[in-house]
Amino acid sequence: MTSSQLHTVLTLSAQQAQQYFIKGNYSQAANYYEQAIKTEPEVKSHYWNLGLMLLLQEQEPEAQLTWMMAMAEGEPEQVELWTVELIQILQIEAERREMLTEYTIAWAIRQHIREIAPTKVNNLLHLCELAINLETFTGDELTSLGVIELLNSEKTVDIQLLLQVLEKFLNYAPLHPSVPDFVEACLSHIREPKSLINILIPATVKIAHSMWQPKLAASLLELVLRIEPENIIILRRLADFYLKACDYSQGINIAKQCYSLSNTLLDKLFTKHLLIRALMEAPAYWEEACEVFKQQENLFNVLLEEHPNNLEAGKVLYLFNANSFAPYFQDSLKKNRQIQNKIAHLCQINVQEYANEQVERYQQRTLKERIGKLKIGYLSYCLSRHSVGWLSRWLIQHHNREQFESYGYFINYKHVNDHLQEWYIQQFDKVYKGGIYSEDIAEQIYKDEIDILIDLDSITLDITCEIMALKPAPVQVTWLGWDASGIPAIDYFIADPYVLPESAQEYYTEKIWRLPQTYIAVDGFEVAVPTVRRNDLDIPSDAVVYLSAQRGYKRHPDTARLQMKIIKEVPNSYFLIKGLANAEGVQRFFMDLAEEEGVECDRLRFLPLDPSESIHRANLTIADVVLDTYPYNGATTTLETLWMGIPLVTRVGEQFAARNSYTMMINAGITEGIAWTDEEYVEWGIRLGKDETLRQQIAWKLKQSRKTAPLWNGKQFTREMEKAYEQMWQIYISS
């Protein structure tokens, strides 16, 4: 046989082997490669391919022996070259299998590459990615395979692959102990920080808010600050995480740093909002918070005069809730609503500009009368162990399943053990476990053909606002979570005869839909065994105990001063202060006020948060009288106080936030303790402290109210809400 004939035979053998290989007939392909080796043993690629065919037939020892025999007689330089060739062939096949999503085979091939070249970091990264795809990844592989160590020393790394693995790792096992080390190891390889930031921002938001690990989220962003120390987006998120972790001093420092770096009007607005939040969490900074709030109001006026309609999506998101602290500072229905409505209108214009195609598609929905059950969608990030989650469950539980289909849309679904979230998942007819992307959630609402969408968050969450502004449902309603948002795409705001004054409609863009009795009702609360007793706090058994249990936002100095006046006038009285805020700052705040009002500081007691909601409710019974906050009343705390039969003193204002306790007391059949002026607030506080008989009468009335009061009748409330839904739908289809 001539050399040209031999070459033709080998070419045909290789071609036939390749054809059988593609068809998956590895044994036949192996036969052809064996023939090629016999004919031309010096061509090493035949050995590499033969070994691969054996490997694909799960004959791993035979494959390894084939490769070893081929390299046995080579010089070191030749072996090195042949090893590169072998790895290249294996790598090509691994990549092909990955494209075909045949991850198990790709993983097996890459394990052999690892045995041949154990320090090839890109292959190790591929192995980690494949393990994640196969759901066998533990996170320990990053150290056991030496990935982190190699990243810290290796110069050449596939950056795209590295970022891909990081993103998948953060999605798959974000709380694994090796996450910070892996992120840190990535830093030296990143040439464009934006690519890393785009991965870490959503991941850390999930870690902080869905997994309740804000300290870990903050530590990851601190790492990124090494390469982008003046990135406002990172600093803004970082301040948020520190505040969520109750590290208020650090949150304040970073918020101020963020503001110093802000150049645009919008950035200044956003960072002012962040700084207000940080300062309000620690009441000792209230005066500074008031000053920053005034500065923010001035910035709002400038923005509203400019009325820009080409804002970036991310900027609009931040703007939605930038005015959310106004009701904590001032009880001014007209002023607060006017600013809020203008901001919401501006935001919606911009949303409908940058999401124009999506909005137009939703607007083109066919108007039709619903045949069958009305579809009611509930949208919130609070359908879990949150005040909104505790209070809205009775409506969901008592829904008439024969007339309504209920859909739950979870924003930033929490990946933690939350029994209330799990309860909701079981209650809804259909559930969507959403993330933090508005367009995805809105699209699902639209596809589900929801008739009436209920917003439970209002401006407490910007994502909810953006979804509502997209108008994915024909009828949209705000209920429970906060005052109305002012977004023009929202049709109705649920209220009752008391929670808003009669003239309120003048200041709302939404139609105020007043239910006949109450805008909220519960069948009750779970109550555990008390863990706090008077003797534990060194309080005499015959003392009069006042309690305020609110977070720092609500502790307006003017109201706190009124509370001190009450304590001063009631002999043998003590004031218990509990809430989520800076402990040291809260104590200094109240101690200073006590000294100013002539109250002995040893009459104050500061309580930590309770381990659970049911224990918190049980511990409320240590109080003889609860003193409400103003201009932002309690809501859940008020309901809990009334359910436990404890007298309450509240100051009624004109805005929604200043009338919550008022409507709840009226709907529980109680008027004792309702004050319309500061003077009445103090008078009621003193009277209830001194008159034990009156306290007992109120406690008895509250216990009796459980049997008949609208506030404690979740089923009746649900029927009233359902009647409202039907009327809203009739108005829509008749328009």
Per-residue model confidence as pLDDT tens digits over 166-183: 999 999 999 999 999 999
Residue indicated by tokens 């009611």: 376
Instruction: Tell me the H-state helices in 471-569.
Output: 557-569
Instruction: Tell me the H-state helices in 119-247.
Output: 121-133, 141-144, 147-153, 159-172, 179-187, 193-205, 214-224, 232-244
The values of phi and psi at residue 159, to 5°, are -60, -45
Q: Which two tokens stand for residue 142?
A: 């990053």
Q: What is the mean pLDDT of residues 336-362?
A: 93
3-state DSSP of 214-255: HHHHHHHHHHHCCCCCCCHHHHHHHHHHHHHCCCHHHHHHHH
Pairwise CA distance, residues 326 & 306, whole Å = 21
Q: Which segments of the chain belong to CATH 3.40.50.11380?
A: 357-514
pLDDT of residue 8: 45
Pairwise CA distance, residues 312 & 119, whole Å = 44
Residues 269-282 have pLDDT tens digits of 999 998 998 888 77
Residue indicated by tokens 């102990």: 177
pLDDT of residue 28: 79
Of the two residues 75 and 158, the one the predictor is more confident about is 158
Rounded percentage of the chain residues whose pLDDT exceeds 90: 65
Q: Is 719 helix (H, G, I), strand (E, B) or coil?
A: helix
pLDDT of residue 82: 84
Q: Which segments of the chain belong to CATH 3.40.50.2000?
A: 534-712
pLDDT of 15 over the 70 cut: no
- Which CATH number is 357-514 given? 3.40.50.11380
Q: What is the mean pLDDT of residues 89-107?
A: 89
> Length of the chain, please?
735
The values of phi and psi at residue 17, to 5°, are -60, -45
pLDDT of 7 over the 50 cut: no
Pairwise CA distance, residues 238 & 141, whole Å = 29
Q: Nearest Cα to 455, choosing from 435, 437, 472?
A: 472
pLDDT of residue 296: 94
Residues 189-220 have pLDDT tens digits of 988 899 999 999 999 988 998 888 999 999 99
Averaged confidence pLDDT in the chain = 90
Could you tell me if 655 and 582 are in contact, meaning their C-beta atoms sit under 8 angstroms apart?
A: no
pLDDT of residue 62: 83
- Burial code (b: 16+ CB inside 10 Å, e: under 16) for 570-607 equals beebbbbbbbebbeebbbebbeebbeebebeeebbbbb
For residue 657, give the DSSP letter: G
Residue indicated by tokens 């200044």: 268
Of the two residues 15 and 160, the one the predictor is more confident about is 160
Q: Which two tokens stand for residue 654?
A: 């004109």
Could you tell me if 472 and 353 are in contact, meaning their C-beta atoms sit under 8 angstroms apart?
A: no
Q: Is 669 helix (H, G, I), strand (E, B) or coil?
A: coil
Pairwise CA distance, residues 703 & 391, whole Å = 19
Q: Could you please report the per-residue DSSP string of 580-598?
A: SS-HHHHHHHHHHHHHHHT
Nearest 5°: the CA angle 357, 361, 367 is 160
Q: Which two tokens stand for residue 621?
A: 């019974």
Cα separations (Å) of 383 from 211, 406, 427, 452, 633?
A: 14, 14, 11, 18, 22
Pairwise CA distance, residues 552 & 333, whole Å = 22
Pairwise CA distance, residues 8 & 642, whole Å = 94
Instruction: Tell me the H-state helices in 321-386.
Output: 326-329, 333-354, 356-363
Q: What is the mean pLDDT of residues 97-105?
A: 90
Q: Nearest Cα to 86, choosing from 111, 106, 113, 63?
A: 113
Nearest 5°: the CA angle 19, 22, 27 is 80
Residues 390-434 have pLDDT tens digits of 899 999 999 999 999 999 999 988 877 888 999 999 999 999 999
Q: Nearest Cα to 472, choosing from 577, 352, 320?
A: 352
Could you tell me if 601 and 611 are in contact, meaning their C-beta atoms sit under 8 angstroms apart?
A: no
Q: Within a 10 A sphere around the Cβ of 524, how many other Cβ atoms?
A: 11
pLDDT of residue 3: 41
pLDDT of residue 9: 44
Residue 47 pLDDT class (50, 70, 90 cuts)? confident
pLDDT of residue 5: 40
Residue indicated by tokens 């069958």: 372
- Which CATH number is 534-712 given? 3.40.50.2000
The answer to whether the peptide bond before residue 61 is cis (omega within 30 degrees of 0) is no
Pairwise CA distance, residues 656 & 480, whole Å = 11
- Tell the burial category of 305 from Cβ atoms under 10 Å away from its Cβ (0-12, 13-18, 19+): exposed
- Which CATH number is 3-224 given? 1.25.40
Residue 553 pLDDT class (50, 70, 90 cuts)? confident
Q: CA 218, 223, 226, 232 torsion: positive or negative?
A: negative
The values of phi and psi at residue 494, to 5°, are -80, 125
Q: Over the Cα atoms of the chain, what is R_g?
A: 33
Provide the angle, in degrees to the nearest 10, between the axes of the packed helices 419-427 and 387-398.
30
pLDDT of 369 over the 70 cut: no
Residues 422-452 have pLDDT tens digits of 999 999 999 999 988 899 999 999 999 999 9
- Burial code (b: 16+ CB inside 10 Å, e: under 16) for 254-284 equals bbbbbbeebeeebbbbbbbbbbbbbbbbbbb
Provide the angle, in degrees to the nearest 10, between the axes of the packed helices 356-363 and 462-470.
50
pLDDT of 224 over the 80 cut: yes
Could you tell me if 605 and 573 are in contact, meaning their C-beta atoms sit under 8 angstroms apart?
A: no
Element (H, E) at 715: helix 714-734
Pairwise CA distance, residues 630 & 611, whole Å = 26
Q: Which segments of the chain belong to CATH 1.25.40?
A: 3-224
pLDDT of residue 367: 67
Q: Could you please report the per-residue DSSP string of 258-280?
A: HHHT--SHHHHHHHHHHHHHHHH
Could you tell me if 29 and 51 are in contact, meaning their C-beta atoms sit under 8 angstroms apart?
A: no
The letter for the amino acid at 313 is A
Pairwise CA distance, residues 644 & 682, whole Å = 23
